[in-house]
Chain A
Amino acid sequence: MGPLTFAVLAVLLVVSALAVVLHPNPVKGAMALVATLFVLAVVFVFLDAHMIAALQVIVYAGAIMVLFLFVIMLLSLQDDLPEGGGRVGLRTAAWIGGGALACAVAWICLRSPLGAPPEAPQGYGGVEAVARSLFTDFLLPFELTSILLLVAVIGAVVLAQRRGA
């Protein structure tokens, strides 16, 4: 991925991410998040992770964000910038925390050498490569995922029924 491509994608990514956080309208913020996830999928494509890119769109941008939108719309969340910009203490804490995080990230970036990444083997990131390693090396996490999903389903039903009852 050349520097120009990376720059364009990075700008798009940061702008949409900022829109998620800064836009007062929650629905538009959610759509900005969809855009962010989509651009992230494009970044994955450029990093040769084709299958993960498709899965990112299918699951994250296509399923989880739909849930987000349902919640926002059904709860009729209004535009929600707090009056007067929020408590001073919280804002100071946010600035300090964000600044510290930015410094840490910058320090890590400047420490590591920026060379070209190693050449990816043929088929890297394609469905077959991911599938093979998923069902041989990572078999246990895969089976545990099904348990995790089962727990999620049961939890959702319990919560919904308690609320509805």
Chain B
Amino acid sequence: MLDQYVGVILSFLLAAIIVAVMVSGSMLLGPRKRSPVKDQVFECGNAPSGPARGRFSVHFYLVAILFIVFDVEVVFLYPWAIVFRSLGVPGLVEMLLFIGVLAVGLAYVWKKGALAWN
């Protein structure tokens, strides 16, 4: 069973080496002339307007939480997709129940306007 993963490990190693070399390419090969202007962040010619931190919309949290919930749903659907043929109609009904409850959740979120972005 485990020798399936030999290719995976080798790919990890090779890809890590290749990508690391690529990313550090200009760190190693490029000139290094620092100046205060270069160190500033880019704002189309204006001076940097303040700290990068600030308060952002709550929409992003909601998207992340909804993503987790529906990701878990997808994760339950995959095993079902493998064996549903042998589970027959009862299996279909069970999964429909599961999807139905989560569809209710989606409808609730939709109706509450949490999916709409101002």
In the complex, number of A-B residue pairs with CB atoms less than 8 Å apart: 117
B68 lies within 8 A of A67 (CB):
yes
A:36-64 near B, CB below 8 Å? 45-46, 48, 50-51, 55, 58-59, 62-64
Question: Inside 8 A of A132's CB, which chain B residues have their CB?
Answer: 83
Pair A143/B97 contact, Cβ less than 8 Å: yes
Among residues of B, the one whose C-beta sits closest to the C-beta of A120 is: B1
Cβ A153 vs Cβ B69 within 8 A: yes
| Contact call A48/B1, Cβ cutoff below 8 A | yes
Query: B87 interface residue, CB < 8 Å from A?
Result: yes
| Interface 1/0 per residue, B50-90 and A, CB below 8 Å | 01111111101110111111011101101110110001000
| CB within 8 Å for A127 and B78 given contacts A46-B2, A146-B102 | yes
Contacts of A149 in B (CB 8 A): 69, 72-73, 101-102, 105
The one of A70, A128, A130, A154 that contacts B61, using a Cβ cutoff of 8 Å? A70
Contacts of A157 in B (CB 8 A): 62, 108-109, 112, 114
Residues of chain B having any CB pair with chain A under 8 Å: 1-2, 5, 51-58, 60-62, 64-69, 71-73, 75-76, 78-80, 82-83, 87, 91, 94, 97-98, 101-102, 104-106, 108-109, 112, 114
Further pairs besides A74-B56, A128-B82: 18, Cβ < 8 Å? A50-B1, A59-B71, A67-B65, A70-B64, A128-B83, A131-B83, A135-B80, A135-B83, A135-B87, A135-B94, A146-B97, A146-B102, A153-B106, A156-B62, A156-B65, A160-B114, A161-B112, A161-B114
Which residues of A line the B interface, CB within 8 A?
Answer: 45-46, 48, 50-51, 55, 58-59, 62-64, 66-67, 70-71, 74, 76, 127-128, 130-132, 134-135, 139, 142-143, 145-147, 149-150, 152-154, 156-157, 160-161, 163-164
In the assembled complex, 13 residue pairs joining A and B whose CB atoms fall closer than 8 Å, in A order, are A45-B5, A59-B68, A66-B67, A74-B55, A74-B61, A76-B53, A127-B79, A143-B98, A146-B101, A152-B65, A153-B66, A156-B62, A161-B114
